[in-house]
Amino acid sequence: MSNFSHLAVNDNGFLFDPTSGQSFTLNTMAQEVMSAMKEGKDVDQIARELSHSYEVSYESAYEDVLEFGTKLKLYGLSL
C-alpha cells in the first residue's frame, strides 16, 4: 500500500487531499480502511480486521480492500 499520511480524514468521513485540493466522503468501512492504510497496514491485515469487525468472509473483505485501493488510484489518491 502507498503512504497516505498526507490525506486528512475526519470522524465524519470527510477526506481531503491537500496536494490536489480534492475532497471526498467515505462511508464507515472506507474510513476504517483508510485509517488502516494510513497506519501502514497491508491488504491482508486490513482484510482480516474487516472480516472480524463486520463478520464477513476474509475473501470478501480482501476483495473490498482491493476495490477501494483501485478507486483511490482512479481518483489520483495513491502515490
| Tens of pLDDT, residues 13-29 | 999 999 889 999 999 99
**What per-residue confidence (pLDDT) applies to 26?**
96
What is the band of 66 on the pLDDT scale with cuts at 50, 70, 90? very high
* Cα–Cα distance for residue pair 37/55, rounded to 1 Å: 20
Cell of 71: 478507486
Beta bridge partners of 15: 9, 24
Taking CA atoms, 28 is separated from 12, 19, 45, in Å, by 9, 24, 18
Single pTM value for the model: 0.84
